Amino acid sequence: MSRACRLCGSTGTVPLDVLAPEELEREYRRQCGVRIILPVQPIEYRCCDQCGLRFFEPAEPGDDAFYAALGRLPWYYQDEKHEFALAARRIGPGHDVLEIGAGRGAFACGLRARSYCGLELSTAAIATAHASGLTLLRETVEEHAARRPAGYDVVCSFQVLEHVHDPRGFLEAASCCLRRGGHLVVSVPAEDSFMGADRFDVLNMPPHHLTRWTDRALAAVAGLVGLELIDVTHEPLAPGHARLYARVAAQSGFAALRGWAPRLLDARLTSPLAAGCVWLHASLIRRTLRFRRRRPAGHTVVAVYGKP
């Protein structure tokens, strides 16, 4: 089992937790109704001291059947995302745009650009996009970069980077696709928000998410792939995530009160006593949210890079 960082290659990575495959399989069935089969060996959750990336090892991305099953869930693909607007501000009528992991093509709708190209690996998502009149290419960004280097003014990747096994190769290929002076816009679940503290979100674990991105890791990307970091923006907590935010905060508070070290899929938090205390505390947190002048950091963080 390799313990080197998937982003910077450092061997200075430390274990944060260990997941039992059977527990993860059970939680995917319970939460998503999706059956997965994982290797029998334990899955380590590690952090890189050098760049701040958090990653699972061993971990392989889900296959086409896995994503087809998730795609049937009504909330999986979203037609509107906070990061769409942030990216659209950097796109003008004279720009050529590449979207990596286009899903069903929601971002392309209404986009003002000279040209748009979307890459997608899910055959179900490609079929849905095609039915809407949008043609997507079924190829990886590495394959596309070999065919069209320096072909785009703006390259976007929304909620994709955390799914890939080789993020360094993915980002290098994305950078290769950019023209000089162009922008790379990347959005991921924000590890420096309540997302990083959620101990039961299986979709933030393998085989769905293979890496987890701190602001520090996003900043490290620039120097590793020859880009300049322009901006890192956190989405404010969305109203639809208020209940989840409160539950996560309450669970973290209860665990800290008991002196428990953070653990993923922590069965101790499902006991009747813990569940009751968490429910009560979460109710109080939801009430206080409405009085806060500034909303806490939400689900997503967006990093923008420039190519010198």
Which domains, ranges and CATH numbers included, belong to the chain?
A: 13-57 (no CATH), 64-237+297-306 (3.40.50.150), 240-289 (no CATH)
> Mean pLDDT in the chain?
94
Q: What is the pLDDT of residues 159-175, one digit of tens each?
A: 999 999 999 999 999 99
What's this model's pTM, rounded to 2 decimal places?
0.93
Distance between CA atoms of residues 140 and 121, nearest Å: 7
In Å, how far are 121, 185, 271 from 83, measured between CA atoms? 21, 9, 37
Nearest C-alpha neighbor of 234 from the set 262, 195, 263, 261:
195
182 in Cβ contact with 153 (< 8 Å) = yes
- Note the pLDDT tens digit of each residue in 19-47: 999 999 999 999 999 999 898 899 999 99
pLDDT at 1 over 80: no
In 207-268, the DSSP E strands lie at 211-212, 228-236
Rg (CA), the chain: 20
Determine phi and psi for 135, rounding to 5 degrees. Answer: -100, 125
Give whole-number Cα distances, 164 to 74, 159, 241, in Å: 23, 10, 25
DSSP labels, 96-132? EEEEES-TTSTTTTT---SEEEEE---HHHHHHHHHT
Answer for the pair 72, 66: CB distance below 8 angstroms, yes or no: no
Residue pLDDT, tens place only, 142-198: 999 999 999 999 999 999 999 999 999 999 999 999 999 999 999 999 999 999 999
